[in-house]
């Protein structure tokens, strides 16, 4: 049995998928808000992924991934049940502080819905009244609403197209929650950077403590590379060792967004090279050879080329 065996997989949509990884020691150590550094194969890049859930009894951690870049697209095709990841390092980062808040809003937008779940559950276990606000582009992209119903006292769903719940962004859900519950003590938001900035602005006038989980470029996860530095309250912090959670009212979001776009050209080139290699695999001769040696049944790379969205198209997610 491999150390990082994939024991379960679920596909929520054409671009969003779940992997459950067996690693008892990591499952015992994991806390809400932490992340892992993953290498899909020996020559793969290191990517940070937030732990979306963990089960100490089963000895597993759960990752929810969106196929938007070269590596996450590659993992979508390679990672089958019974296969294994080359390396998983963690849990890393400072666990999210579950305060003594009496009433808290937990906001998740798009892929951020997954990592906000363990925080909502932790607040509920700590005795808080939990209001969940989840944002998706459409009903077809929704997932885990059943899990949130189990741990939230109230759940507000927002979709960009109005196909489910409120038509609009998560900021509208926050506004309604505060209007109904002016005694909210804290708001925790995870999702696209522009969404988290919007959440922080929505709570600022009400002076509600707001925590956001930042996702800057990260390589080693130990603070050595400096790629994940962010500005918080005028000071330089490193998301991998000082975070990833920070006070949303103090984060310099303009600087963070600028840094996130720093390697856009290189990332786009990597995606295009990988997509071209997939197209070559679909030619008659190479495709037949690949299907014999490493098809999906064998846990190898599928020869089917997935047409996936460009990650630099705005993923609003609420």
pLDDT band at 273; cut points 50, 70, 90: low
Mean pLDDT value across the chain: 82
For the chain, percent of residues with pLDDT exceeding 70:
78
Q: What is the pLDDT of residue 307?
A: 38
Report pLDDT digits (tens) over 145-193: 999 999 999 999 999 998 998 999 999 999 999 999 999 999 999 999 9
Tell whether the model's pLDDT for residue 289 goes beyond 90.
no
133's tokens: 């606000």
- pLDDT of residue 206 exceeding 90, the answer is yes
According to the model, what pLDDT value does residue 242 have?
Answer: 83
Domains (range + CATH), the chain: 1-92 (2.40.30.10), 103-260 (3.40.50.80)
Rounded Cα gap, residues 187 and 184, in angstroms: 8
Q: What is the pLDDT of residues 70-102, one digit of tens each?
A: 888 888 888 899 999 998 988 988 888 887 889
123: nearest Cα among 62, 171, 188: 188
Reply yes or no on whether the pLDDT at 309 is more than 90: no
Which residues are 36's β-sheet partners? Answer: 49
pLDDT at residue 146, rounded to an integer: 93
Instruction: Kindly write down the DSSP assignment for every residue of 184-250, as one continuous string.
Output: --EEEEES-HHHHHHHHHHHHTTT-EEEEE-----SSSSSSS-TTEEEETTEEEEHHHH-SEEETTT
C-beta separation of 247 from 233 below 8 A: yes
- Please tell me the predicted confidence (pLDDT) of residue 270: 62
Show the tokens assigned to 222: 């130990």
Which pLDDT score is estimated for 128? 94
Q: Pull the structure tokens for residue 152.
A: 């939230």
**Residue 300: closest CA among 40, 118, 43:** 40
63/313 Cα distance (integer angstroms) = 23
Residues paired with residue 233 on neighbouring β-strands, in sequence order: none
Is 166:107 a contact under the CB 8 Å cutoff?
no
CB 130 within 8 A of CB 107: no
Structure tokens belonging to residue 37 = 């550094």
pLDDT band of 264, cuts 50, 70, 90: low
Give the separation between CA 309 and CA 268, rounded to whole angstroms: 12
Instruction: Look at residue 167 in the predicted model and tell me its pLDDT.
Output: 93
């Amino acid at each position: 049995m491999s150390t990082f065996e994939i024991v379960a997989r679920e596909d929520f949509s054409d671009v969003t998928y779940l992997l459950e990884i067996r690693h008892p020691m990591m499952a015992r150590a994991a806390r809400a808000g932490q992340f892992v550094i993953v290498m899909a194969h020996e020559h793969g890049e290191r990517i940070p992924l937030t732990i979306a859930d963990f089960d100490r009894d089963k000895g597993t951690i759960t990752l929810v991934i969106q196929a938007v870049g070269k590596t996450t697209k590659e993992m979508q095709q390679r990672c089958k049940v019974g296969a294994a990841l080359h390396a998983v390092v963690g849990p890393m980062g400072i666990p999210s502080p579950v305060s003594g808040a009496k009433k808290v809003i937990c906001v998740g937008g798009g892929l951020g819905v997954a990592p906000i779940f363990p925080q909502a559950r932790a607040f509920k276990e700590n005795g808080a009244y939990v209001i969940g606000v989840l944002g998706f582009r459409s009903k077809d992209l929704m997932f885990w609403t059943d899990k949130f119903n189990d741990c939230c006292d109230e759940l507000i769903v927002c979709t960009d197209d109005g196909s489910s719940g409120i038509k609009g962004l998560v900021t509208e859900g926050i506004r309604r929650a505060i209007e109904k519950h002016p005694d909210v003590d804290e708001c925790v938001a995870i999702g696209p950077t522009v969404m988290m900035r919007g959440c922080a602005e929505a709570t600022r006038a009400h002076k509600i403590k707001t925590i956001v989980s930042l996702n800057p470029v990260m390589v080693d996860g130990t603070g050595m590379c400096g790629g994940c530095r962010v500005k918080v309250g005028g000071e330089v912090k490193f998301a991998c060792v000082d975070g990833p959670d920070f006070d949303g009212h103090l984060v310099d979001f303009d600087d963070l967004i600028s840094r996130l776009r720093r390697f856009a050209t290189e990332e786009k080139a990597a995606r295009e090279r990988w997509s071209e290699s997939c197209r070559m695999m679909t030619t008659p001769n190479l495709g037949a050879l690949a299907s014999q040696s490493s098809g999906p049944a064998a846990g190898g790379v599928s020869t089917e080329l997935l047409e996936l969205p460009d990650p630099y198209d705005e993923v609003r997610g609420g």
